[in-house]
Amino acid sequence: MALANRGSADSFGDLVKQLTLEEKISMLAGKNVWETFDVERLGIPSLKVTDGPNGARGGEFFDGTTAACFPACVSLAATFNRDLARKVGKALGQEAITKGAYVLLGPTVCCHRSPLGGRNFEAFSEDPLLSGALAIEYVKGLQEERVAATVKHFLANEQDTRRFSVNETVSERALREIYLKPFEMVAKQADPWCFMSSYPKVNGSHIDASSKFLNDILRGEWGYDGLVMSDWGAASTPEGIKYGLDLEMPGPSRQRTTEKVQGALQAGQISEEDIDKRVLNILNLLKKTGKFDDRKNPVKEQAIDRPEHRALIRKAGSEGIVLLKNENNILPIDVKKTKKIALLGPLANYSAAHGGGSASLSCHYKVSPYDAFKERLGKDVEITHGKGAHIFRVYPDLEEGCTNAKSNPGFLAEFFMTPEANEEPFRVEEYPRGSFTTLMNTNVVGSQTVRYTTTYTPTTAGNHYLSFSGLGPTKLFIDDVEVGEQRDPIKDAMGFFLGVQEEVRIQYQFSNRPYKIRLETHPSPVSNSELYLMDNQCSIHLGFLSQAEMEQDVLSEAIELARSADLAVLFVGNTTQWETEGQDLSSMTLPADGSQDKLVASVVAANPNTIVVNTTGVPVELPWIDDVPAFLQAWYAGQETGNAILDVLLGETCPSGKLPISWPKKYEHTGCYGNFGLDSYDSREVTYVEDVFVGYRWFDRLWESDREVRFPFGYGLSYTDFEFSEASISGELANAADTKVNVTVKVKNVGSIPGSETVQVYVKPPVGPFLERPVKELAAFAKTTLLQPGEVRLVEVEFGRDTAAFWDEERKRWSVSEGIHDILVSTSSHLKDVKAVLQVNVATVFQFEP
């Protein structure tokens, strides 16, 4: 009996009854890497999901169908623009549809705990209110296209070091006030159709191994009725079926095999009613995304490069750029007075569109800063370029000059079921460059040996540099002679997969003739990533750098180019090799080995007219900041990053970005110092020692000390100036949930060019005798539309009791203190930027349920 066209999501109870137990169990896990299980007998289709938060990558992790790459969420957060977040979400929904996917695995709303978070760029902010507010709009925009948002990673996925096994000790108060808060906001105000559970243990248990987070809080307290899926490989127990985890991803299942689930049923650990609840949530998601009607049939992936998406990406990217220093108004660049510009730095001719890992994708195109400058200014201004520093963590993939045995560009991979490559391969695949992986490739399951070959013809002779590595033992041959061997499995399989692998490095003398290159590799015998998905996988990386490029004195070249130019623009930062899912950063210094800091210091000494553009998702140390007249933070701005940056440098876009994070001078100054990331590598234990004092909440305690923050949360300069006046307040903080406080203020553009300003309102609670509270917390914000010179706009914001409350651990309730609450109207979290102080009096302490 086919039931493909259901009338409403509420009517699926009858359909669940028609499923056999085996069919229901099969639906509790993915069919493969990206699809849910279908039951053809009853007309239940499968549903495809896709990464990720800044683009719809589709079914291939590498070299797949091209897609639009939007700014990373931290860049979007820097806009403080709800409307823009809504538009980006909607466009991402349209992109997901082109990949035949109706679930997008984003947004990431975990708060930034440390400046060393390898995946910080993928999440919005250190502040839960800003994170939640923008995620709400992102989710609404996405689901307007009938594409499910997947709010992740629930919960406490702030670090990537040992994320599969680490146990995080977090107070209930910190969980409630900081880490649960953005998830709560989105669950209650945006109705997301999916949540994703995380890998780490929280206070001793995985998220799906107890009832607390998924059943008691998410579904019980917050009223969430959508689907919860695991992160890939994060399902920890069959009992997650009872504890609220609907879907184990990916397939085939590890925790929800028929044998394990039936065993749990027989042991009384779960019930068939628990299974039915999970199946019902899966069916409801299929209905919401249209899989029972107009979207029933699979869709072939398409690359659709929409002009309106290009424009949106460029606007969002430029609006997220934060101007942090601009001495003597060196910016915007006066092109009429500038005849020669030196574009310098390792990121000048590199398009830092995205970070590494799940956020990476094959972009429709990428625009580097050099591309943008040459296209727009190349006819009128002399543009020179110098790299200035090498920051390779691994050598780039060997690609140019490679031809495989089928006479096509690239490499040939031959897969064998035997320990030696001495029989006919059971499968042969082509790859464009010197890297491949079997992970997520269901065609090569069980490979015991992979032979990876190409014929390489150098463009120039020389003693060139090669690097190679594999997940398991690997050998490199040139013209059938072994030239290098990796004897042991790689230390960190997940790091390898994400492109930050350790490598064997050699030099080899090449002449101007073809060379046969062959690598042979085997799977790692045991998991060295702590993630079972990496077990028995094969991967290879073969990198190459010419002798000329490696040994060139790029620093001296950059200094000379700077000295002879009217203006030097330095592009520094991280690449996907350095900032990626899977590994936290080891320090706040720019890579590698001080080379970029030395470059900046040398260039500004040669030419005082130097602008520095930093492209990272995190703050970095700035030992040269006092000597540089202009400094901008560009984040990862998507495929239009070069154009977005140049729009700001030329003044075609007046900068309006604000820092969604605090910018410390040093990592040692942060509240989590010594208790994050690599600090917990050996112990697999980390304690959130700073408790609720995250980001600016921590730095407010260091006011006027030598550890005071370098740039405060919410800070950002403009090319124009604004004046605040006539701030007023009405309403009250009261126990009724619908009671609001309203703040209004007039904002005037008193400068000479159009611009936008962000009004930030903070609540400063009364100081209590028994409990230390943050000095202040963001309660509301609003960004003006573009104000013309002399124009005045009345800005109004509102907030309720939630923003003034703290979590009472003893009573397990929210509590609002009695007394005077100062309401600070400001342009950043720093007291020097406060424009008005208003007050609200709470006559009597009151509490309310979560």
Q: Is the dihedral of CA 727, 728, 729, 730 positive or negative?
A: negative
pLDDT attached to residue 535: 86
Do 406 and 546 reside in the same domain of the chain? yes
Render pLDDT for 64-117 as a digit per residue (tens, 0 to 9): 999 999 999 999 999 999 999 999 999 999 999 999 999 999 999 999 999 999
Q: What is the dihedral of CA 389, 395, 396, 401, to 10 degrees?
A: 110
pLDDT attached to residue 526: 66
Residue 378 identity (one-letter amino acid): G
210, part of any domain: no
Longest dimension (CA), the chain: 86
Centroid of chain to Cα 81: 18
Which residue is associated with the tokens 């509240």? Answer: 671
Render pLDDT for 224-273 as a digit per residue (tens, 0 to 9): 999 999 999 999 999 999 999 999 999 999 999 999 999 999 999 999 99
Among candidate residues 231, 274, 492, 597, the one labeled active-site is 231
pLDDT attached to residue 489: 87
Phi, psi of 756 (to 5 degrees): -125, 150
592, part of any domain: yes
- Is residue 429 within 8 Å of residue 60, measured between CB atoms? no
Centroid of chain to Cα 533: 21
Last residue of a domain, one of 252, 270, 288: 288
Phi, psi of 537 (to 5 degrees): -100, 155
Section 35-42 average pLDDT: 97
Residue 235 identity (one-letter amino acid): A
211, part of any domain: no
- Is residue 361 within 8 Å of residue 588, measured between CB atoms? no
pLDDT attached to residue 53: 94
Pick from 575, 154, 33: which is nearest to 351 by CA? 575
Count of CA atoms in the C-beta half-sphere (13 A) of 589: 13
Please list the residues that pair with 728 across neighbouring strands: 744
Do 385 and 435 reside in the same domain of the chain? no
Residue 515 identity (one-letter amino acid): Y
DSSP 747: E
Render pLDDT for 734-747 as a digit per residue (tens, 0 to 9): 999 999 999 999 99
Do 171 and 189 reside in the same domain of the chain? yes
Which residue is associated with the tokens 């920890």? Answer: 236
pLDDT attached to residue 10: 56
Q: Would you say residue 3 has pLDDT above 50?
A: no
| Angle made by CA atoms 739, 743, 749, in degrees to the nearest 5 | 155
pLDDT attached to residue 835: 98
Section 23-30 average pLDDT: 98
Pick from 24, 43, 1: which is nearest to 286 by CA? 43
pLDDT attached to residue 514: 98
Per DSSP bridges, beta strands 462-470 and 322-326 are: unpaired
Do 642 and 561 reside in the same domain of the chain? yes
Do 55 and 173 reside in the same domain of the chain? yes
Please list the residues that pair with 201 across neighbouring strands: 167, 206
DSSP 55: -
- Is residue 534 within 8 Å of residue 472, measured between CB atoms? no
- Rounded distance, CA 530 to CA 162, Å? 8
User: Which structural domain, as residue segments, surrounds residue 753?
Assistant: 722-848
- Is residue 497 within 8 Å of residue 541, measured between CB atoms? no
pLDDT attached to residue 355: 96
Output 6 or 490, whichever has higher pLDDT.
Answer: 490
Q: In a 3-state reduction of DSSP, which class is residue 812?
A: coil
Q: Is the dihedral of CA 585, 587, 590, 593 positive or negative?
A: negative
pLDDT attached to residue 7: 44
813, part of any domain: yes
- Rounded distance, CA 111 to CA 125, Å? 6
Section 483-495 average pLDDT: 87
First to last CA, the chain: 44
- Is residue 109 within 8 Å of residue 127, measured between CB atoms? no
pLDDT attached to residue 11: 75
Render pLDDT for 779-828 as a digit per residue (tens, 0 to 9): 999 999 999 999 999 999 999 999 999 999 999 999 999 999 999 999 99
Q: Count other C-beta atoms under 10 Å from residue 125's C-beta.
A: 30
* Helix (H) or strand (E) segment spanning residue 288: helix 272-288
Per DSSP bridges, beta strands 504-510 and 462-470 are: antiparallel
Do 5 and 141 reside in the same domain of the chain? no
Section 825-832 average pLDDT: 97
Section 288-297 average pLDDT: 95
Centroid of chain to Cα 292: 32
Q: Which two tokens stand for residue 401?
A: 């000059």
Section 158-177 average pLDDT: 96
305, part of any domain: no
Render pLDDT for 40-64 as a digit per residue (tens, 0 to 9): 999 999 999 999 899 999 998 888 9
Pick from 653, 602, 635: which is nearest to 331 by CA? 653
Section 406-415 average pLDDT: 97
pLDDT attached to residue 530: 86
- Rounded distance, CA 264 to CA 245, Å? 15
Please report the DSSP string for 416-457 in residue order: ESSSSS-S--SEEEEESSSEEE-TT-GGGTT-SEEEEEEEE-
Pick from 442, 17, 19, 529: which is nearest to 251 by CA? 442
Overall domain count for the chain = 5
- Is residue 500 within 8 Å of residue 582, measured between CB atoms? yes
Do 668 and 644 reside in the same domain of the chain? no
Q: In a 3-state reduction of DSSP, which class is residue 632?
A: strand
DSSP 409: B
- Rounded distance, CA 461 to CA 547, Å? 9
Sheet holding 205-206, edge to edge: 205-206, 201-202, 167-169, 685-687
- Rounded distance, CA 105 to CA 53, Å? 6
- Rounded distance, CA 226 to CA 193, Å? 5
HEC sequence for 668-695: HHCCCCCCCHHHHCCCCEEECCCCCCCC
134, part of any domain: yes
| CATH code for the domain in which residue 682 is found | 3.20.20.300
Do 572 and 626 reside in the same domain of the chain? yes
231 is catalytic: yes
- Rounded distance, CA 191 to CA 140, Å? 8
The C-alpha R_g of the chain, in whole angstroms, comes to 27
546, part of any domain: yes
- Is residue 305 within 8 Å of residue 635, measured between CB atoms? no
Q: Which two tokens stand for residue 295?
A: 């979207």
pLDDT attached to residue 580: 94
- Rounded distance, CA 418 to CA 717, Å? 62
199, part of any domain: no
pLDDT band (50, 70, 90) for residue 193: very high
Section 633-644 average pLDDT: 98
Do 247 and 136 reside in the same domain of the chain? no
- Rounded distance, CA 544 to CA 459, Å? 12
- Is residue 391 within 8 Å of residue 592, measured between CB atoms? yes
pLDDT attached to residue 529: 75
Q: Would you say residue 1 has pLDDT above 80?
A: no
- Is residue 716 within 8 Å of residue 319, measured between CB atoms? no
Residue 4 identity (one-letter amino acid): A
Q: Would you say residue 641 has pLDDT above 50?
A: yes
All residues at 6 or more sequence positions from 662 whose CB lies less than 8 Å from its CB, including other chains? 126, 619, 695, 696, 698, 699, 709, 711, 712, 713, 829
Per DSSP bridges, beta strands 167-169 and 201-202 are: parallel
Residue 255 identity (one-letter amino acid): Q
Render pLDDT for 677-694 as a digit per residue (tens, 0 to 9): 999 888 999 999 999 999
Range list of β-strands (E), 460-531: 462-470, 474-478, 481-486, 504-510, 515-521
- Is residue 455 within 8 Å of residue 483, measured between CB atoms? no
Sheet holding 103-104, edge to edge: 49-50, 103-104, 148-154, 194-197, 227-230
| CATH code for the domain in which residue 838 is found | 2.60.40.10
In angstroms, what CA-CA distances link 336 with 25, 99, 203, 339, 681? 69, 46, 61, 8, 54
HEC sequence for 118-177: CCHHHECCCCHHHHHHHHHHHHHHHHCCCCEEEEEEECCCCCCCCCCCCEEECCHHHHHH
Render pLDDT for 435-465 as a digit per residue (tens, 0 to 9): 998 888 888 988 999 999 999 999 999 999 9
Across the chain, mean pLDDT equals 95
Do 416 and 544 reside in the same domain of the chain? yes
Section 585-601 average pLDDT: 97
In angstroms, what CA-CA distances link 96 with 54, 55, 165, 303? 11, 8, 32, 11
Q: Would you say residue 2 has pLDDT above 70?
A: no
Do 555 and 545 reside in the same domain of the chain? no
Q: Is the dihedral of CA 585, 591, 597, 603 positive or negative?
A: negative
Residue 727 identity (one-letter amino acid): A
Share of the chain above pLDDT 90, in %: 91
Q: Which two tokens stand for residue 231?
A: 């992160």
Do 358 and 482 reside in the same domain of the chain? no
